[in-house]
Structure 1
Amino acid sequence: MPMNARRRDQVIPQGQYESLHRMVFGHPARAVYAVMDGAMIEGLPGRLAKIAPDAACLFEGTLDPMLSAAAPWLVKLDPESTATQMALREGWNGHWGIVLLTDAGLDLRSVRSHLRRVLRVRAPDGASMLFRFYDPRAFRTVIPVLDPPARREFFGPIHGVYVEGRTPDCALFFARDGRPEPQALPLSTAA
């Protein structure tokens, strides 16, 4: 492979991956989860079954296989896990999902329960609709305009969320208790 060719599965360069990894796992009192978008990741349920068997679909019940394949999935990330490589190396800047920080003791079932409550929102006409908050583009557009009560309700037990920025050399961090605008965090390009 030529030196300047990018592997298909490597969305961000090694230096940026290492910088992002340090940010995400730099909070020892926090657990790290990813919500990954099956609509953006080919074969997500099967891939997660192999690398993160505890991953949980945010949709409830027995799903049609096509709906299951396009559904959002919650997975716990550990610093050296294959799921972390997938979320932070392969998927970052590919709109694959978002990364959550919670209390260290909060388990996957509790995080899933909270996220299921924020999956549906009311449109201005009163209709219920799916909120694809796990798409980084939707997250960074909608979350900053929430009023403080709606923001607290959305975040619940989640302390903060990392999403890809509008440019590939930046991550955005949205804090539950911070100001509405995210903190822009440059991703180092040094390897």
Structure 2
Amino acid sequence: MSRAYLLLDRIQIANLADRLFELTGSAAVHSLYQHTAYSALDSVGPLLTGVTPDSPLEQVFWQAWSATAGIWLESEADEHQVLEHLRGLIHARAEGGATVFFRFYDPRITASWLADLPSLERDRLMGPVRLIRLPGLEFRQQTAQPAVPYAQRPWLVLAAEQLDHLNTARRESFTRQLIEHVQRHFPGSLNSLDACALRQWASDCQSSAARSGFSAVDEVLSWSRLPAVLGRDFPDGPEHGAYRRLLADPVLPRQRLDTLNNALTQQLLADKDLAL
């Protein structure tokens, strides 16, 4: 009998374990990083959980998480085999022998990775997983394959051109996500820009975030409020001195971002009071 699972990205979904408990009650949840060389990073590793069709969890997945934060899997194998095979995919060997984390559970990576593979190779990599569903796309295995468990030396090898392709696809997808985020939450800030200028704005936003020490997806999305409201030259404009001083504070990156956004909120409230 086939069973459905969700493989979800804890980096992309805040308080994911709590959300799953709210939606399912007592469903078993498994971390892919447990029992691996990356167990110290368990708090940010992906989680696997079963999902029942037409359940609240399924509804939330397709409405809020399926585009960027996880994939739907189906398998007739037992849960242990599915978990062990997925655990074996968390890292890969690049050409030259370097080991890299492989975020195959990001649906944008999944689509780019599997779409270009010959069916026999795709079947091998899917192992006991018979079906992977993404928004508007699915990969159905032709011939069932055994699970290949995790090993400290990755069994998955990615060629240089594969890595370049996957990285390009992920960058382009995040650029679209960033633009949509700013247009949704800060309407009007980008209205005068055409498609080319929007992409340049998103690139500049990511670059300024990186120079200030923020590169994770959630950090860049939080940072985007600042250049969206204060101008694309943030934080280098002559009027941004107070923010540059906050950026220099020796605190954790998340705390620094919260402080910056709180300062912006206070500035906007003060400007509103002056306008009354």
Contact kept? 1:45, 1:69, Cα under 8 Å: no
SS of the residue corresponding to residue 130 of structure 2 reads strand
Q: 1:118 aligns with which of 76, 84, 89?
A: 89
Contact kept? 1:40, 1:70, Cα under 8 Å: no
The AA in structure 2 aligned to 1:177 is Q
Alignment correspondent of 1:21: none
Residues 175 and 36 from structure 1, CA distance in 2 versus in 1: closer, same or farther, beyond 3 angstroms? same
Instruction: Output aligned runs, 1:1-191, within 5 Å.
Output: 29-50=1-22, 51=24, 52-61=26-35, 63-64=39-40, 67-93=41-67, 95-103=68-76, 106-164=77-135, 171-177=136-142
Residues 49 and 69 from structure 1, CA distance in 2 versus in 1: closer, same or farther, beyond 3 angstroms? farther
Contact kept? 1:49, 1:55, Cα under 8 Å: no
SS of the residue corresponding to residue 134 of structure 1 reads coil
Contact kept? 1:132, 1:138, Cα under 8 Å: yes
- RMSD over equivalenced CA pairs, Å: 2.3
Instruction: Identify the structure with the greater helix proportion.
Output: 2
TM-score by length of 1: 0.64
2:93, 2:82 → 1: CA distance?
Answer: 22
Contact kept? 2:3, 2:74, Cα under 8 Å: yes
Contact kept? 2:131, 2:138, Cα under 8 Å: yes
Show structure 1 runs of 5+ residues with no match: 1-28, 165-170, 179-191
SS of the residue corresponding to residue 146 of structure 1 reads coil
1:117, 1:63 → 2: CA distance?
Answer: 14
CA drift of 1:138 comes to 0.6
1:47, 1:107 → 2: CA distance?
Answer: 25
Contact kept? 2:9, 2:47, Cα under 8 Å: yes
The AA in structure 2 aligned to 1:174 is F
Deviation string, structure 1 residues 120-159 (Cα, Å, up to 9, x no partner): 2111121121211100111111112334554232111111
Deviation string, structure 1 residues 37-94 (Cα, Å, up to 9, x no partner): 1111011122224435301111114945xx334211111111243322232232233x
2:34, 2:117 → 1: CA distance?
Answer: 26
CA drift of 1:107 comes to 3.0
SS of the residue corresponding to residue 158 of structure 1 reads coil
TM-score by length of 2: 0.46
The AA in structure 1 aligned to 2:131 is G
Show structure 2 runs of 5+ residues with no match: 144-276
SS of the residue corresponding to residue 74 of structure 2 reads strand
The structure whose Rg is larger is 2
Of structures 1 and 2, the one with the larger relative CO (CA 8 A, separation 6+) is 1
SS of the residue corresponding to residue 33 of structure 1 reads strand
